Structure 1
């Protein structure tokens, strides 16, 4: 990976010129304040992109991959692991992507990658529904989603009720994955979260407040199976193969045994 030079930063701005995304570089007024508000510590950033749509994120990731620029993904309240010191890259902020929508008929809730836990709870409550507990009480995207906070930091019951994920891959491709659509990627996201892309929208099952249903019904540990068992092969080698397929340049960091879901 290489630093985001001033010239590259100008090119990045031009790439997003006709969108609603806001791009700030160290030369812009207010840059230091925005870095402070994102609570990124000593991050050396060449640019901050405050995205508003999945398409904007697609453009940024495509640009970053093409020019080998490292990225940091900042969800609604926290960021992924910083790139190596001295590699000033692109901070992709999801703070403007916090929309949450409930579909009472299907009892599902769709949340953008920058949504906070309190947002999910509040919206579901307005419909007399409840979201199963998460391990924390702040953001969810791989995020981002490393790539998505929801996928990286909320294992347990809530991840077991994940229905689908809209995710942007390293090459800028926008895909939706579920137990029936790209099930290999869906399986990988459960185990290694944002190592595969940046999640911009996640759909979860929600339940009536009075429901006594076991939220993790059908889940027996070890991550979702979805008919993807490969006897004699451990999870890590399988994940590494998928990593090469979906993120061959390692834009979303490396993959090792510490990346795996610890629920098993």
Structure 2
């Protein structure tokens, strides 16, 4: 569990609530069912129109990574690659076959299988780089769903505010309803702007950062597997991969 992200999310709600109280309003003033429908359902509708179902499905599955991000340990990966190179020098490439089942990551298993099968170094690099680019593009498209939601929600908030003001204009003959009506109209703007800047846009940026780290880990893996296929010395492989860590 990433406590920083969790605390940040909680703090986002606290800021809105405490700020409302300090401004002399009540917590109840923040609740408006009509604004919820317009902003949240409107944003969801816009995102659904823009993206395919598979992209949305991937985006929803990635949401958990905000609070439970994968552990990226490049030092550990380098050590494992060096260990594989030592095994291959002692036992040959077939000695790495037991390592395939020990790996949970499908990308790593695929790379090791190509290595054990005796693929040429450039063939290993080509196949894995295509896989890397494809996975990265899919994940970035999913992360962009949250970015798009952050772009649409403030606009939906403005639409909600305008619709609320239209209702106010229809009740100009009753001054007792004007203050409450105007306040309710601007609740939609608060929803839209807060939803975008406190949740959606930060989530999109966080996911993009995690995707970049994951891609860097896979680049290290590709370089290590290609070096093993070329028969490089384990110490040379370690020195080469250490360059990624610096």
**Which structure carries more relative contact order (alpha carbon 8 Å, separation 6+)?**
2
User: Rg bigger for which structure?
Assistant: 2
TM-score interval w.r.t. the shorter chain? under 0.3
State the TM-score, normalizing by the size of structure 2. Answer: 0.25
Which has more helix, going by share of residues?
A: 2
State the TM-score, normalizing by the size of structure 1. Answer: 0.23
Which has more strand, going by share of residues?
A: 1
